């Protein structure tokens, strides 16, 4: 079994400060105090990782910059819905971040490429320990870490993997799988989590249970189920990729990506998904998988504008997107 169906791994911890109301009840002055406490905890730490963090007040960002953070999975869609009284700490390679005053005072996140649940948890745990040295977290011996939403009580941990499941999607097996996963304490959602649709056959698989289970047990459970999903995807892939129509679709997709002059967002993601299927099934030999994975983020509308440094209309984005794809794939 290969893990090439996994794009990335993310682990997020919810924490709250003992002496402050939850963010939904915080005054603007209270929000600023929480921001300063978290910022100081990182800034004044003796840890070597602390100096790598950049501080961002969300209200200082443009709408495109905010949306791009969501597209790059650094922050949640909810976090940018109201930028007042919210701030972000993020390191240089964007693998570690801290959302301040989202649903909870603190959301600590680590994200890594591929399937790396233990490694990603270790990263987020180190950052949690760093903050715990100078911040007083709201904690109950009975309920664990206290969070605004009861579903996060206990560990406060949400671990997830971003999966590319085109074969299972084409086989129409996702609905059945989703129903079975809920019985195992897991959920499978769209590309950007709860309430979002899958684009480019990208699905987010995460744990649902945080109370009465340790972080290690939750991660082990997620890892086991991820392995089973990968195996199911590989079996489905073998079945569908022997079909000449699927093979033709893969080759045509690469051709369009290499030569088109204008490509809409959803079309680009579908074409990239088809090419990715061609790579992992062995049909396409000379296309780097990491290039395709990076393009799946870079073609997103806001990220496209942020990287170009321009405000672009939808039509202009379609042209810029096609230019980006041609240049990235010109030597393939």
* CATH number of the domain to which 111 belongs: 3.30.590.10
Q: What are phi and psi of 58, to 5 degrees?
A: -60, -30
**pLDDT classification of 192: cutoffs 50, 70, 90:** low
Say whether 105 sits in a helix, a strand or coil. coil
Which of 170-179, 251-260, 275-284, 313-322 bottoms out in mean pLDDT, i.e. has the lowest? Answer: 170-179
As a whole number of angstroms, the distance between CA 197 and CA 190 comes to: 4
Q: Would you list which residues are annotated within the binding site? A: 8-12, 107, 158-162, 189-194
Examine the domain organization and report whether 269 and 315 are in the same domain. yes
Cα dist from 293 to 9, 61, 194, whole Å: 13, 26, 22
Say whether 100 sits in a helix, a strand or coil. strand
Q: What is the pLDDT of residue 1?
A: 56
pLDDT tens string 306-320: 999 999 999 999 999
Examine the domain organization and report whether 230 and 203 are in the same domain. yes
Does some domain include residue 191?
yes
Q: Work out how many domains the chain is built from and give that number.
A: 2
As a whole number of angstroms, the distance between CA 330 and CA 86 comes to: 41
| 21 burial level (CB within 10 Å; 0-12, 13-18, 19+) | middle
Examine the domain organization and report whether 229 and 274 are in the same domain. no
* C-beta separation of 171 from 164 below 8 A: no
Examine the domain organization and report whether 230 and 280 are in the same domain. no
* Percentage of the chain modeled with pLDDT above 70: 98
Examine the domain organization and report whether 227 and 265 are in the same domain. no
pLDDT tens string 95-109: 999 999 999 999 999
As a whole number of angstroms, the distance between CA 124 and CA 117 comes to: 11
Q: What are phi and psi of 138, to 5 degrees?
A: -75, 115
In the chain, what is the straight-line distance between the N-terminal and C-terminal CA atoms, in Å?
27
Domain that holds residue 77: 6-235
pLDDT tens string 111-160: 999 999 999 999 999 999 999 999 999 999 999 999 999 989 999 999 99
**pLDDT classification of 196: cutoffs 50, 70, 90:** low
Examine the domain organization and report whether 23 and 153 are in the same domain. yes
Compute the mean pLDDT over every residue in the chain, rounded to the nearest whole number.
Answer: 94
Q: Of 184, 206, 235, which residue is a domain's last?
A: 235
Q: Would you list which residues are annotated within the binding site for ATP? A: 8-12, 107, 158-162, 189-194
Examine the domain organization and report whether 191 and 142 are in the same domain. yes
* C-beta separation of 162 from 296 below 8 A: no
């Amino acid at each position: 079994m290969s893990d090439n169906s996994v794009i990335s791994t993310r682990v997020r911890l919810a924490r709250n400060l003992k002496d402050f109301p939850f963010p939904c009840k915080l005054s603007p002055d209270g929000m600023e105090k929480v921001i300063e406490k978290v910022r100081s905890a990182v800034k004044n730490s003796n840890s070597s990782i602390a100096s790598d963090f950049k501080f961002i007040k969300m209200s200082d960002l443009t709408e495109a910059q905010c949306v791009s953070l969501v597209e790059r999975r650094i922050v949640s869609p909810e976090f940018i819905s109201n930028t007042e009284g919210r701030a972000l700490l993020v390191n240089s390679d964007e693998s570690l971040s801290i959302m301040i005053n989202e649903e909870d005072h603190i959301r600590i996140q680590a994200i890594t490429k591929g399937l790396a649940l233990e490694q990603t948890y270790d990263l987020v745990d180190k950052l949690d320990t760093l903050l715990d040295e100078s911040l007083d977290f709201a904690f109950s011996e009975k309920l664990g870490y206290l969070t605004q939403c009861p579903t996060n009580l206990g560990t406060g941990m949400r671990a997830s993997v971003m999966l590319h499941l085109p074969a299972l999607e084409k086989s129409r097996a996702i609905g059945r799988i989703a129903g079975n996963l809920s019985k195992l304490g897991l959920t499978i959602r769209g590309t950007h989590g709860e309430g979002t649709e899958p684009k480019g056959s990208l699905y987010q698989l995460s744990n649902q249970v945080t109370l009465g289970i340790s972080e290690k047990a939750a991660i082990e459970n997620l890892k086991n189920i991820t392995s089973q999903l990968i195996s199911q995807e590989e079996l489905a892939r073998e079945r569908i990729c022997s079909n000449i129509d699927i093979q033709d679709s893969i080759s045509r997709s690469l051709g369009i990506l290499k030569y088109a002059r204008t490509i809409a967002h959803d079309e680009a993601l579908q074409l990239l998904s088809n090419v990715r299927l061609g790579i992992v099934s062995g049909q396409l030999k000379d296309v780097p998988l990491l290039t395709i994975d990076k393009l799946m983020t870079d073609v997103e509308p806001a990220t496209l504008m942020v990287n170009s440094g321009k405000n672009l209309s939808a039509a202009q984005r379609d042209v810029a997107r096609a230019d980006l794809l041609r240049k990235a794939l010109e030597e393939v």
